[in-house]
Amino acid sequence: MNIEPIAFIENDFKEKFGVPRQSGLVSLPSRIVLEPKFRDENALRGLEDFTHIWLIWGFSEAKTNGFSPTVRPPRLGGNVRKGVFATRSPFRPNSLGLSVVKLVSIDGFALTVTGADLMNGTPIYDIKPYLPYADSVPEASNGWSLAEHDGRLTVEFHEELLKIIPEDKRQGLLETLAQDPRPQYQSDERVYTMAFGDWQVSFTVNGDKLLVKNVK
């Protein structure tokens, strides 16, 4: 079966480094713009009645060399192998991702959402409404002690540097940094630089504190 993108996403995550590890963790807005072939107003009819939607998308930047039954999840430091179907690794047989995001508004053939864990330019293959009565499982449990790896960092961001970022993007950037953008196997105090919108944000991490060193 051949599938084609119905839309592409637009946001401030210009590189893989810094993209939230899961959906719903960062409230930064993104735009999902339908491709011309799918710009029929009837296709979106009724979607405005839902608060959240599912996105089925492609790991367009993940390069694989055939099927691998095991992967090294970044959340486990990249040192432990797990079955590919027991992870959300981008290195999958069909390189498909699944995310739930909050639907903020629909403007013509563009959807504004928050909570996306997708890089700018990621292809979207399908959109489906999120149904709380069927899609939410409150009693579900995590596998391999994922909760142990959910610690957030305290972000120290000098006011003069923070002012460089437009006010409507500041909270999203702070939330992204608090998630610790570094690869999980890195624990040193080197200076890291993350692309965010039109800016390069440099920071160091010491223990549970992230210090922003520069924004340019």
pLDDT tens digits, 158-187? 999 999 999 999 999 999 999 888 876 666
The residues, ordered by sequence, that sit 6+ positions from 157 with a Cβ below 8 Å of its Cβ are 174, 177, 212
In the prediction, which pLDDT does 145 show? 55
Tokens representing residue 90 in the block: 């981008």
Alpha-carbon distance of 167 to 163, in angstroms, equals 7
pLDDT at position 8 over 50: yes
Write the pLDDT tens digit of every residue in 126-145: 999 999 999 999 898 877 65
Averaged pLDDT, 62-81:
78
Indicate the SS3 state at residue 128. strand
Q: Percent of the chain, pLDDT > 70?
A: 92
pLDDT at 148 over 50: no
Give the Cα separation of 59 and 95 in Å (integer). Answer: 5
Name the nearest CA neighbour of 177 among 2, 60, 20, 4: 20
The C-alpha atoms of residue 199 and residue 141 are separated, in whole angstroms, by 38
What is the distance between the alpha carbons of residues 139 and 27, in angstroms, rounded to a whole number? 25
Q: Tell me the pTM.
A: 0.88
What letter does residue 182 receive in the DSSP assignment? Answer: S
Question: What tokens were used for 121?
Answer: 């330019």
